[in-house]
């Protein structure tokens, strides 16, 4: 049985009469990438945001639809956007990836991540961007 990403790619190719090359050209991504995403039974990791954006353009589908299908294929769950965002606010792929990836960590690693997040939140927004990179 085809995974979620394979299904949406196959449906669009069949419905529109497109080839992998057509999708690749429309989306500005390599044909080999489209072929891999359309034929891989399981993805080891979530494709890069730029790849998902290109696939979305190439398939003429909303980015969120492609992102959710890719996440499901990777075995991760994407949570809905924050309630306080307006409908025109685009989803943040980094937030989606962080949330989805946490589920794949060991319980010890999740505790470490939770402690880091709590520490960062305690600093407050005014301090968040003031430290030089690499110094914590």
| Segment 90-134, tens digit of pLDDT | 556 666 666 666 667 788 887 888 788 878 878 866 555 555 444
Indicate yes or no: pTM above 0.75.
no
Q: Tell me: domain 4-126, CATH 2.60.40.1170, correct?
A: no
The reported pLDDT for the residue numbered 35 is: 96
In the chain, which residue ranges form alpha helices assigned H by DSSP?
4-16, 20-27, 31-39, 49-59, 63-74, 93-102, 107-123, 125-128
- Model confidence pLDDT, tens digit, residues 51-77: 999 999 999 999 988 988 898 888 776
Write down the domain spans for the chain: 4-126
Which has the higher per-residue pLDDT, 107 or 16? 16
d(CA 70, CA 43): 8
CB within 8 Å of 38: residues ≥ 6 apart = 5, 6, 9, 10, 13, 20
């Amino acid at each position: 049985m085809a995974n979620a990403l394979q299904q949406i790619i196959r449906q669009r190719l069949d419905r529109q009469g497109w080839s992998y090359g057509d999708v690749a050209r429309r989306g500005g991504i390599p044909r080999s990438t489209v072929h891999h995403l359309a034929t891989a039974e399981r993805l080891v990791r979530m494709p890069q945001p730029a790849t998902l954006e290109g696939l979305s353009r190439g398939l003429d589908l909303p980015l969120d639809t492609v992102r959710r299908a890719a996440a499901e294929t990777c075995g991760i769950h994407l949570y809905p956007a924050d309630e306080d965002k307006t409908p025109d606010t685009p989803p943040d792929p980094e937030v989606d990836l962080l949330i989805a990836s946490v589920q794949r960590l060991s319980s010890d690693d999740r505790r470490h991540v939770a402690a880091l997040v709590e520490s960062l939140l305690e600093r407050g927004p005014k301090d968040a961007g003031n430290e030089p990179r690499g110094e914590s």
